[in-house]
């Protein structure tokens, strides 16, 4: 897990280290707007049993009952406000603009959970036949238009299934591009972490309530879209192009 690269990787991605990850299952795709709309329609925002204590406090204090930007279309479907334009919401695209609290509640409602950061990276990088990690889910080739939705190319998420060439060795798709994905892991340094070039880039954010997001969004530049890149934010933040991919225990 992680990397020893010092030419592009940030200090919080280093150093490379071995992690034992028990068997788990993970979704092939990030959760779609269609799946999340079922959670909304089922009253998921009004069922405290799906929420953590902190998440339920956030839900009650904010009154949010849909992902950021969603608007009812008057006929049982949804519109979405993006860049001050109201558009039909494509149910095939990954849900975005949800916070960690919403991601956790959705996962619990669906009978799953959020992946740990190590699980996400294993699904994205580990090649079991070669017994080594890849730089990108698909291999060592830099991201191209066939691999991922990056660089503001579509000004929004692409429908799931749009990038089969970007699949990992395990067949998991759209791990880079479209939406950052919340994990259950707190943001801290890797074993053997050393600050570079100054503590204010990463170290001052270790601890607290920050949660790690992995992957890259449709707005991410391809030069930073690598499988070891780590994003992080408070669990209540929804302004990120953030979504969710479900995981499950096995055995």
- In a domain? residue 106: yes
Residues 6 or more apart whose CB falls under 8 angstroms from that of 19 comprise 1, 118
What does pTM read for this prediction? 0.97
State which residues form the domain around 152.
11-31+93-249
The DSSP annotation for 69-111 comes to: TEEE-SSS-EEEEETTEEEE--TTSBP-S--HHHHHHHHHHTT
CATH number at residue 159: 3.90.1580.10
Q: What is the pLDDT of residue 237?
A: 98
Q: What is the pLDDT of residue 118?
A: 98
- In a domain? residue 194: yes
Q: What is the pLDDT of residue 110?
A: 98
Integer CA distances (angstroms), 196 to 15, 116, 224, in order? 12, 25, 17
Q: Is 215 helix (H, G, I), strand (E, B) or coil?
A: strand
- In a domain? residue 3: no
Q: What is the pLDDT of residue 6?
A: 87
The structural domain count of the chain equals: 1
Q: What is the pLDDT of residue 169?
A: 98
- In a domain? residue 80: no
- Cα–Cα distance for residue pair 49/194, rounded to 1 Å: 40
Q: What is the pLDDT of residue 4?
A: 94
Are the C-beta atoms of residues 117 and 188 closer than 8 Å to each other?
A: no
- In a domain? residue 67: no
Q: Is 50 helix (H, G, I), strand (E, B) or coil?
A: helix
Ordered per-residue pLDDT tens for the chain, 251 residues: 999 998 889 999 999 999 999 999 999 999 999 999 999 999 999 999 999 999 999 999 999 999 999 999 999 999 999 999 999 999 999 999 999 999 999 999 999 999 999 999 999 999 999 999 999 999 999 999 999 999 998 899 999 999 999 999 999 999 999 999 999 999 999 999 999 999 999 999 999 999 999 999 999 999 999 999 999 999 999 999 999 999 999 98
Closest CA to 30 of 236, 187, 215, 154: 215
- In a domain? residue 122: yes
Are the C-beta atoms of residues 140 and 134 closer than 8 Å to each other?
A: yes
Are the C-beta atoms of residues 73 and 219 closer than 8 Å to each other?
A: no
**Beta bridge mates, 71:** 79
Tokens read off for 177: 């591009």
Are the C-beta atoms of residues 231 and 168 closer than 8 Å to each other?
A: no
- In a domain? residue 99: yes
Half-sphere exposure of 43 (CA within 13 A, CB side): 4
């Amino acid at each position: 897990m992680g990397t020893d690269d010092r030419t592009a990787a940030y200090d919080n991605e280093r150093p490379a280290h071995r992690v034992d990850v028990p068997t788990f299952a993970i979704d092939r795709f990030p959760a779609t707007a269609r799946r999340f709309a079922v959670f909304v329609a089922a009253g998921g925002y009004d069922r405290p049993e799906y929420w953590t204590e902190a998440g339920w406090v956030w839900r009650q204090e904010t009154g949010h009952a849909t992902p950021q930007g969603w608007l009812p279309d008057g006929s049982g479907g949804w519109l979405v406000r993006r860049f001050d334009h109201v558009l039909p919401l494509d149910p095939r695209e990954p849900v975005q603009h949800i916070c960690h609290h919403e991601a956790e509640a959705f996962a619990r409602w669906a009978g799953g959970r959020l992946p740990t950061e190590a699980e996400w990276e294993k699904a994205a990088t580990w090649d079991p036949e070669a017994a080594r990690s890849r730089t990108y889910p698909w291999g060592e080739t830099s991201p191209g238009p066939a691999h991922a939705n990056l660089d503001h190319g579509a000004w929004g998420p692409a429908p799931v299934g749009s990038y089969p060439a970007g699949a990992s060795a395990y067949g998991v798709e759209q791990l880079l591009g479209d939406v950052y994905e919340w994990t259950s892991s707190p943001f801290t340094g890797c074993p053997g972490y050393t600050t570079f070039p100054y503590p204010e880039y990463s170290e001052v954010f270790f601890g607290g309530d920050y949660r790690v997001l992995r992957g890259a969004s449709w707005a991410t530049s391809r030069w930073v879209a690598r499988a070891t890149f780590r994003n992080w934010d408070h669990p209540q933040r929804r302004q990120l192009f953030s979504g969710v991919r479900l995981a499950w225990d096995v055995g």
